[in-house]
């Protein structure tokens, strides 16, 4: 009876979690839905829908809006998207991640005494991707003009009531901001006073950014006057940003402050459309970006978990948490060594990494009675009929445990956020965007008002860490940003994204399982308790190698975790930390095929907000 008691408690707990009232209501709609990380962002999408735009138009408007609000990103950052096209029944991937500029070499950074490219400042910048990504999505799959789609963002640039988290991030980051004259002029509106950043509710005006957006719209409208098509006119705006006077000022401002980006870099970069990677989990096709993102690790994790009866374990039982944690460790170990830009050699072994047979081999490494702290990258090459050329590196690399204790800086780098954007419409378009980059404290490039990306820090300088992700000019870093989409019976089933850094696919995996294995609604799953693992190499921040090394067995649990689960996990070798909210924050849309409606889940974690009609 004593052995059965914990299982009964788990089953009752799981049932009560599913039945309890959520902190935010489920969002319902039949015509369209817009969800993102800020209320003004969701309102921007709603305005576009009300004017007759499709989901791509609305997603682009939300993207422009959240960038303008510095919602943990800005216009100089990067955009990653999955789009379901109802006319073809296909999911496509948009890669609008900037690349390393000319001069960004291993020797350049090592000669400056660095172990990684820097965390902040002009040398942290890859080329801006978001303006190009937005123009590409709008031109190829939208219906409206750039002028219409940018209208809400331009109103915000002219002045909006700034929210407390953004204003406070400017105040916290002013040590960096004061190093960069253009950032100082924009962010520190009360220079010399005790509080130098804007106050919450203050009308925050960005004249330079408004000027940049105005120039893009002018280029589009001038092209239309010369009888160019809608698409050609949008690309005229694109050209003005990447090749015209905006580009010249961006480059001047970047180089003046010590950055490397050239006019040739901006002209040669372009967004690309790609085939997403996918796997089938119990009849559901799950889609992720290619291996220049961490997205495929979720696919690897699902392949591993197919070898276990998760439902019988019980939601967040000790056995379930132990299985999820070690599955994440296995996927992270492969991500940390084998992922990188597929457009540069060497070729990543993705066929092997995503094979079901390789997943079975990896699943056998999961220990049932304790955490496996010795997990290292596997060898997927035999599953492609090849020999692994990097076995010597793996042997030299070892496990590489961190020795320093986890502190607030480590957790900030692990969770470092962005936003997510979800949009769908009655015609069947579905858009999931997870943009980022250029977050505060950002270095603004001249008088463009555009904050430069900080994504260079996700490169490595030593092939021992990841031979596929070593920095070189015009290469894209491997990023944590990872939109997700799932189809069932060939139709949209779920579109989901999350804020965060290395936590993104951890939370997305558990969100997906909450719905598929434990029958939660989309809002219940968005708010549900998740775990976070630290048994991984950090992708962001840290000046020393030790700053990024894995912490095996370190786990974040929700504060509501039962005492008996805590004790059992400690006996299994886990070191526990706790947080009141561990859900993400996640935003998602579930497609109710039976009723022909949309169900929206909008995180209760921060300022995430959705509107449906």
For 529-556, the pLDDT digits (tens) are 999 999 999 999 988 998 999 999 999 9
Give CB contacts under 8 A, 24+ apart, made by 348-352: 348/291, 348/468, 349/380, 349/381, 349/384, 349/386, 349/388, 350/277, 350/290, 350/291, 350/296, 351/380, 351/383, 351/384, 352/380, 352/381, 352/382, 352/383, 352/384, 352/386
Q: What pLDDT is attached to residue 195?
A: 98
Does pLDDT of 17 surpass 60?
no
pLDDT-based confidence at residue 19 (cuts at 50, 70, 90): very low
Instruction: Say yes or no to pLDDT of 406 above 80.
Output: no
Tokens standing for residue 556: 């974040």
**Rounded CA gap, 433 and 423, in Å?**
9
Answer whether 75's CB lies under 8 Å from 131's CB: yes
Which long-range contacts link 42-50 to residues 24+ away (Cβ below 8 Å)?
A: 42/609, 42/610, 42/611, 43/152, 43/611, 44/152, 44/153, 44/156, 45/421, 45/423, 45/611, 46/611, 46/613, 47/151, 47/152, 48/144, 48/148, 48/149, 48/152, 49/425, 49/613
Tokens of 317: 């039982």
What confidence score (pLDDT) does residue 503 get? 95
Q: What is the mean pLDDT of the chain?
A: 94
Angle made by CA atoms 171, 174, 176, in degrees to the nearest 5: 145
Torsion of CA 577, 73, 77, 206, to 10 degrees: -160
> What are the extents of the domains in the chain?
297-412+503-612
Task: Give 582's contacts (C-beta < 8 A, 6+ positions apart).
Answer: 529, 530, 531, 532, 556, 557, 558
pLDDT for the residue numbered 584: 81
Average pLDDT over residues 576-604: 94
The residue whose two tokens read 């370190």 is 554
Instruction: Give the pairing type, strands 575-579 and 554-558.
Output: parallel
| 469 contact partners, CB below 8 Å, separation of at least 6 | 339, 340, 341, 458, 459, 460, 477, 478
Q: What pLDDT is recorded for position 183? A: 98
Portion of the chain with pLDDT greater than 70, in percent? 95
User: What is the structure's pLDDT at 2?
Assistant: 42
* First-to-last C-alpha distance (Å) of the chain: 51
**Residue 451 bridge partners (DSSP):** 444
- Total length of the chain: 613
pLDDT for residue 568 is more than 80:
yes
Let me know if domain 297-412+503-612 sits in CATH 1.10.246.130.
yes
464: Cβ–Cβ under 8 A, 6 or more apart, which residues? 393, 396, 397
Res. 428 pLDDT band, cuts 50 70 90? very high
Q: What is the pLDDT of residue 22?
A: 92
| Whether pLDDT at 5 is above 50 | no
Any idea which residue has 């820097």 for tokens? 118
pLDDT tens string 357-384? 999 999 999 999 999 999 999 999 999 9
Q: Do 587 and 508 contact (CB within 8 A), yes or no? A: no
pLDDT at 10 over 90: no
Contact, 512 vs 306, CB < 8 A?
Answer: no
Count of other CB atoms within 10 angstroms of residue 523? 25
CA distances from 398 to 81, 358, 554 (A): 35, 21, 19
427 to 50, 86, 148, 534, 601: CA distances (angstroms): 14, 7, 20, 42, 20
Residue in the structure block whose two tokens are 């817009």: 34
Average pLDDT of the segment spanning 584-591: 94
Asked whether the predicted pLDDT for residue 1 surpasses 50, the reply is no
pLDDT band at 413 (very low <50, low <70, confident <90, very high): confident
458-504 per-position pLDDT tens digit: 999 999 999 999 999 999 999 999 999 999 999 999 999 999 999 99
pLDDT(18) > 80: no
**pLDDT, tens digit (0-9, with 9 covering 90-100), for 74-130:** 999 999 999 999 999 999 999 999 999 999 999 999 999 999 999 999 999 999 999
Torsion of CA 181, 187, 193, 195, to 10 degrees: -140
| pLDDT tens-digit map of 281-306 | 999 999 999 999 999 999 999 999 99
Average pLDDT over residues 142-169: 98
d(CA 450, CA 119): 18
Q: What is the pLDDT, as a whole number, of residue 361? A: 98
Per-residue pLDDT tens for 306-325? 999 999 999 999 999 999 99
- The dihedral through the CA atoms of 537, 539, 540, 544 has a sign that is positive
Average pLDDT over residues 251-273: 98
Indicate the range of 19-28, 207-216, 560-569 predicted with least confidence.
19-28
Rounded-to-integer distance, Cα 316 and Cα 561, Å: 8
R_g (Cα) of the chain, nearest Å: 23
55-68 helix and 146-157 helix, angle to the nearest 10 degrees: 20
pLDDT attached to residue 20: 58
Q: Which two tokens stand for residue 502?
A: 């290395």
Alpha carbons 514 and 311: distance in angstroms, whole number: 10
Closest CA to 420 of 173, 606, 210, 151: 606
Are the C-beta atoms of 209 and 75 separated by less than 8 Å?
A: yes
- Rounded to an integer, the average pLDDT of 396-411 is 71
Is residue 9 packed enough to be buried (19+ CB in 10 Å), middle (13-18) or exposed (0-12)?
middle
């Amino acid at each position: 009876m004593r052995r059965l008691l914990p299982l009964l408690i788990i089953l009752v707990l799981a049932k009560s979690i599913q039945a309890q009232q959520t902190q935010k209501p489920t969002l319902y709609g039949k015509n369209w839905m817009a969800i993102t990380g800020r209320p003004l962002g969701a309102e921007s999408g709603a305005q576009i829908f009300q004017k007759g735009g499709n989901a791509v138009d609305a997603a682009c408007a939300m993207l422009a809006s959240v960038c303008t609000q510095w919602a943990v990103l800005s216009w100089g950052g990067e955009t990653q998207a999955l789009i379901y096209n109802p006319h073809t029944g296909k999911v496509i991937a948009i890669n609008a991640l900037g690349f390393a500029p000319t001069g960004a070499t291993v020797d350049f950074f090592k000669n400056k005494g660095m172990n990684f490219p820097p965390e902040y400042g002009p040398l942290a910048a890859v080329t801006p991707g978001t303006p190009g990504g937005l123009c590409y999505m709008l031109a190829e799959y939208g219906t409206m003009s750039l002028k219409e789609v940018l209208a809400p963002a331009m109103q915000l640039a002219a002045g909006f009531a700034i929210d407390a988290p953004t204003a406070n991030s400017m105040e916290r980051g002013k040590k960096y901001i004061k190093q960069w004259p253009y950032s100082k002029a924009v962010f520190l509106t009360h220079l010399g006073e005790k509080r130098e950043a804007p106050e919450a509710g203050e009308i925050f005006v960005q004249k330079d950014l408004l000027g940049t957006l105005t120039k893009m719209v002018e280029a589009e409208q001038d092209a239309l006057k010369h009888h160019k098509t809608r698409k050609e006119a949008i690309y005229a705006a694109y050209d003005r940003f990447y090749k015209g006077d905006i580009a010249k000022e961006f480059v001047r401002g970047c180089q003046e402050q010590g950055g490397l980006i050239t006019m040739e870099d901006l002209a040669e970069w372009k967004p690309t459309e790609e085939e997403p990677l996918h796997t089938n989990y119990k009849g559901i096709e799950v889609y992720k970006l290619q291996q220049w993102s961490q997205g495929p690790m979720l696919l690897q994790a699902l392949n591993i978990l197919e070898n276990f009866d998760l439902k019988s374990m019980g939601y967040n039982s000790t056995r379930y948490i132990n299985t999820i944690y070690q599955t994440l460790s296995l996927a992270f170990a492969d991500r940390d060594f084998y992922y990188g830009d597929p457009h540069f050699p060497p070729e990543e072994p993705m066929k092997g990494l995503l094979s079901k047979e390789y997943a079975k081999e990896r699943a056998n490494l999961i220990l049932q009675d304790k955490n496996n702290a010795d997990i290292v990258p596997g060898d997927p090459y035999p599953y492609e009929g090849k020999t692994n050329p990097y076995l010597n590196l793996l042997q030299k690399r070892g496990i590489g445990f961190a020795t320093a204790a986890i502190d607030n800086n480590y957790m900030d780098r692990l969770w470092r956020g962005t936003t997510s954007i979800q949009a769908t419409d009655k015609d069947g378009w579905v858009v999931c965007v997870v943009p980022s980059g250029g977050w505060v404290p950002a270095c603004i490039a001249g008088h463009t008002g555009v904050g430069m990306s900080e994504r260079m820090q996700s490169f490595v300088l030593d092939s021992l860490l990841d031979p596929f992700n070593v920095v070189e000019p015009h290469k894209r870093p491997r990023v944590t940003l990872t939109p997700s989409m799932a189809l069932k019976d060939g139709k949209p089933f779920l579109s989901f994204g999350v804020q965060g850094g290395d936590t993104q696919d951890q939370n997305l995996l558990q969100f997906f399982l909450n719905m598929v294995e434990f029958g939660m609604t989309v809002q219940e799953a968005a708010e549900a308790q998740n775990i976070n693992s630290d048994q991984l190499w950090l992708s962001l921040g840290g000046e020393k190698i030790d700053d990024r090394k894995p912490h095996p067995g370190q786990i974040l649990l929700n504060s509501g975790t039962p005492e008996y689960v805590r004790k059992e996990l400690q006996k299994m070798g886990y070191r526990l930390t706790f947080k009141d909210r561990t859900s993400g924050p996640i935003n998602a849309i579930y497609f109710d095929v039976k009723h022909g409606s949309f169900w929206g889940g909008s995180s209760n974690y921060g300022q995430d907000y959705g509107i449906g009609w």
